[in-house]
């Protein structure tokens, strides 16, 4: 069985440092001395080429990630920043004896959203039970030796609040709706014609409009206040309750639901507001710059 490391992501805010330190100490005790344990800056705010994602890319073996994000969102953030991992099953299911998920030989990541645990001891016990089910406390790769022992590895960087979308490749149907809708140049097509986030920093802070117009729910803003846009499952596509990772294949394309028109109107209103805030609002009630100007919609 592959070696595993446990990584705890800091919150952006809301937890005083002594309380976070106490939580980290209890999790470290649950992890034990045989398994690497590290604390990193808030995942979503870390720079793509900064020390946090460099560390996660180079960390050998599988990964149990504890973060203040929905599991699906945390996974998409890792993948968007070059951490090559496959999605594991839900830790509860595997701790109960369900078979592991993932291609043999691949690096697998499991996720726990620690916002779900009001009592830290319950979170620590969840971690302990999962690691026991994985029989991970055996031998770890020698290259991870610097992480093993009572001293934690702390990998932090100076972060600033970021705001950018991440794309779920299992749900994206390449309809180009987001490319046409966003007027800030956030999305583009790669050489194979696949949509990707080309300019994440061009996204307007707080704007979720492109996620609303995506017919497959493939665009996630991990810190938005709507759970579905923030990456919670249970959006009616596969029946999975919120907070659990969906392991079913993505659904086939479907016709827009009746509320789609009102959702698009809401997205258009948000787009107009953020365009106006950026000084790019059009005239005569139209979105965006005048025809022929930069940032116009693709046709």
pLDDT, tens only, 200-231: 999 999 999 999 999 999 999 999 999 999 99
Q: What percent of the chain has pLDDT over 90?
A: 60
What CATH class is the domain 4-155?
alpha beta
If phi > 0 it is left, if psi is from -120 to 50 it is alpha, else beta; for residue 4 that is beta
Average pLDDT on 120-130 reads 94
pLDDT at 238 over 60: no
Greater model confidence, 52 or 273? 52
What are phi and psi for residue 25, nearest 5 degrees?
-65, -40
Residues 175-200: tens digit of each pLDDT: 999 999 998 999 999 999 999 999 99
The pLDDT, as a whole number, for residue 288 is 47
The DSSP output letter for 129 is: H
Kindly state the average pLDDT of the residues 243-263. Answer: 45
pLDDT of residue 102: 54
Q: Is the pLDDT of residue 282 over 60?
A: no
Q: How many CB atoms lie within 10 A of CB 155?
A: 19
Q: What is the mean pLDDT of residues 267-273?
A: 80
pLDDT at 23 exceeding the cut of 70:
yes
Mutual angle of helices 17-31 and 120-134, in 10-degree steps: 30
Q: What is the mean pLDDT of residues 243-266?
A: 50
Query: Domain residue spans in the chain?
Result: 4-155, 166-277
Residue 273: per-residue pLDDT: 80
Residue 234 scores a pLDDT above 60? no
Provide the 3-class DSSP secondary structure of residue 200.
helix
pLDDT in tens, 82-99: 999 999 877 765 544 444
- Identify the pLDDT of residue 189: 95
| CATH (residue range 166-277) | 3.30.70.20
- Contacts for 203-208 with beta carbons within 8 Å, 24 or more apart? 203/163, 203/164, 203/165, 204/163, 204/274, 204/277, 204/278, 205/161, 205/163, 206/163, 206/274, 207/163, 207/270, 207/271, 207/274, 208/270
Residue 236 has pLDDT above 80, yes or no: no
Claim: this prediction has a pTM higher than 0.95: no
What is the helix (H) or strand (E) element at residue 130, kind and residue range? helix 120-134
Amino acid 93: pLDDT: 55
């Amino acid at each position: 069985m592959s070696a595993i490391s446990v990584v705890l992501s800091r919150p952006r805010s809301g937890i005083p440092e002594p309380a976070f330190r106490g939580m980290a100490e209890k999790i470290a005790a649950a992890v034990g001395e045989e398994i690497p344990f590290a604390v990193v800056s808030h995942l979503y705010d870390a720079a793509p080429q900064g020390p946090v994602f460099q560390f996660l890319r180079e960390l050998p073996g599988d990964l149990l990630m504890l973060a203040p994000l929905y599991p699906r969102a945390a996974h998409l953030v890792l993948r968007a920043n070059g951490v090559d991992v496959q999605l594991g099953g839900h830790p509860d299911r595997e701790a109960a004896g369900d078979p592991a998920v993932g291609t043999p030989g691949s690096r697998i990541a499991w996720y726990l959203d620690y916002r779900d645990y009001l009592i830290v001891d319950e979170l620590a016990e969840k971690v302990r039970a999962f690691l026991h089910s994985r029989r991970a406390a055996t031998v770890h790769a020698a290259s991870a030796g610097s992480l093993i022992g009572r001293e934690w590895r702390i990998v932090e960087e100076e972060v600033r609040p970021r705001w950018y979308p991440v794309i779920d490749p299992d749900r994206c149907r390449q309809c180009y709706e987001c490319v046409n809708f966003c007027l800030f140049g956030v999305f583009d097509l790669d050489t194979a014609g696949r949509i990707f986030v080309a300019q994440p920093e061009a996204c307007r802070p707080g704007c979720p409009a492109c996620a609303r117009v995506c017919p497959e729910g493939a665009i996630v803003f991990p810190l938005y206040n709507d759970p579905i846009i923030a990456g919670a499952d249970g959006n009616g596509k596969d029946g999975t309750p919120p907070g659990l990772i969906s392991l079913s294949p993505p659904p086939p394309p479907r016709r827009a639901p009746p509320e789609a028109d009102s959702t698009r109107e809401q997205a258009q209103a948000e787009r107009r507001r953020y365009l106006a805030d950026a000084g790019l609002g059009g005239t005569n009630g139209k979105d965006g710059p005048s025809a022929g100007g930069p940032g116009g919609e693709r046709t």
